[in-house]
Amino acid sequence: MSKVFVIDTEKRPLNPIHPAQARQLLRNKKAGVFRNFPFTIILKESLSDSSVSPLKLKLDPGAKTTGIALVNDITGEVVFAAELKHRGFVIRDALTSRRQLRRSRRNRKTRYRKPRFLNRTRPEGWLAPSLQSRIDNIKTWVKKLCRFAPIEAISQELVRFDMQLMRHPNIEGKEYQQGTLAGYETREFLLEKWNRQCAYCGAKDVPLQIEHIHPRARGGSNSITNLTLSCSKCNTKKGTKDIKDFLKKDPSRLEKILKQAKRPLADTAAVNTTRFALLDVLKATGLPVETGSGGLTKFNRSQQNLAKSHWIDAACVGKLTASLNIKGIKPLLITASGHGSRQSCRTDKYGFPSRYVPRFKFVNGFQTGDIVKAVVTNGKKIGEYVGRIAVRTTGSFNISTKNGLVQGISHKYCKGIHRKDGYSYGAN
Ligand SMILES: [Zn+2]
């Protein structure tokens, strides 16, 4: 069960509790709602003993979605999970559109100065804005969760394969097929490197076996550069023959295999700059950061017999000390939606100004994007509405509810549920 975050009167995080317990505290007025996303309550009386059991924050950063899980390392219980959807492509498209507008402006006959060029420098560690935004999103949520839960360590999936482990795979025969972690990672790596097909006949979608290019019987090593994949037919046919004899009739394939085998490891390891930049950000929190490989995550997940999803992958990152308990967990779905533009004048489809954006964002304490609950007790629109508002300077707001847009609701009826924070919650 996803638990509810609790903070004490001094806003220090306590152990997350069961939702039923939280409901009881709220009903008895011993606590109040502090935040709706993620759901957090604040106690009204200070506790005498407040020993907390530390949690580990686990992250599986992805290009589109990042999985987040809070795990109790001792019991293996997953306390909270979330999936954070990034805005990457939205940012790229917005920047492309801006660039095109500026280019077309420069081409018009309005030149009053020489064009500038090469006058921009990029600071060290610069990342494309769409990538930077991913890191910033994760940083925001790590900080947020650290405020609400007793987090004392972080785990991050850093690389796809653990090269150190594979460089000297001290394992034999059967272990390559399954079993140990090194064998598992080696197999995953080879599948990737050899394109998930038999190196000798190109067969796909068949069970593949790990093959020594130079046979063990003839002194071939166990090193990863001497391994490939083959279907069982080719494997039997090749037996202990030397590869040069085996592929005598197909010299082009022989050359291809020998070349591919020698390709350096780092080349195929897909070192990801974003993930390393994220690691620096996580280290800056001051908490101990553990890193794991994608192979390890997958190994853990298959050992625990869990289905694949972003938050489960996150829970499986790094070394597991206890078997995971994910019963009843429903991840909080978070979508990064940005904070809007700085445009102060909207244009119509011809590019002419159509509406000026008011200079002040706040109207009667609300701003566009806040989630509110409005209980209207008077007039034509009697009822209860929950949703995001669009403010008007008149103080009469529009609320977009689940059942559509409701216009003209006075601010007097509105009660804030969640302030606009650049994220939307729930089903996508
Ligand atoms: Zn084959």
Tens digits of residue pLDDT in 52-105: 899 999 999 988 999 999 999 999 999 999 999 999 788 989 899 888 888 887
Q: Does domain 358-427 have CATH number 2.30.30?
A: yes
Provide the residue ranges of all domains of the chain, joining segments of one domain with +.
Answer: 5-43, 55-87+127-161+269-336, 174-262, 358-427
Q: How far is the centre of ligand 1, averaged over its atoms, from the C-alpha of 232 (Å)?
A: 7
Res. 269: pLDDT tops 50: no
Res. 265: pLDDT tops 80: no
Q: How far is the centre of ligand 1, averaged over its atoms, from the C-alpha of 229 (Å)?
A: 9
pLDDT score for 268: 45
Q: How far is the centre of ligand 1, averaged over its atoms, from the C-alpha of 201 (Å)?
A: 4
Q: Which CATH superfamily is domain 55-87+127-161+269-336 in?
A: Ribonuclease H-like superfamily/Ribonuclease H (3.30.420.10)
Q: How many CB atoms lie within 10 A of CB 173?
A: 10
3.90.1720, 1.10.3470, 1.20.1420, 1.10.30: which CATH number matches 174-262? 1.10.30
Q: How far is the centre of ligand 1, averaged over its atoms, from the C-alpha of 217 (Å)?
A: 20
pLDDT band (50, 70, 90) for residue 271: low
Q: How far is the centre of ligand 1, averaged over its atoms, from the C-alpha of 107 (Å)?
A: 59
Note whether 162 and 265 are within 8 A (CB). Answer: no
The rounded radius of gyration (Å) of the Cα atoms in the chain is: 28
Res. 264: pLDDT tops 80: no
Q: How far is the centre of ligand 1, averaged over its atoms, from the C-alpha of 234 (Å)?
A: 4
Among 265-279, 294-308, 385-399, the least confident range: 265-279
Q: CA separation (Å) from 273 to 137, 278, 422?
A: 16, 9, 25
Q: How far is the centre of ligand 1, averaged over its atoms, from the C-alpha of 226 (Å)?
A: 17
pLDDT band (50, 70, 90) for residue 301: very high
How far apart are the C-alpha atoms of 245 and 247, rounded to whole Å?
Answer: 6
pLDDT score for 168: 60
Q: How far is the centre of ligand 1, averaged over its atoms, from the C-alpha of 198 (Å)?
A: 5
Q: How far is the centre of ligand 1, averaged over its atoms, from the C-alpha of 407 (Å)?
A: 67
- Minimal CA–CA distance to 313: which of 331, 332, 300? 300
Q: How far is the centre of ligand 1, averaged over its atoms, from the C-alpha of 199 (Å)?
A: 7
Classify residue 180 by its DSSP letter: S
Among 171-175, 337-341, 400-404, the least confident range: 171-175
Q: How far is the centre of ligand 1, averaged over its atoms, from the C-alpha of 318 (Å)?
A: 35
Q: How far is the centre of ligand 1, averaged over its atoms, from the C-alpha of 241 (Å)?
A: 15
Q: How far is the centre of ligand 1, averaged over its atoms, from the C-alpha of 210 (Å)?
A: 12
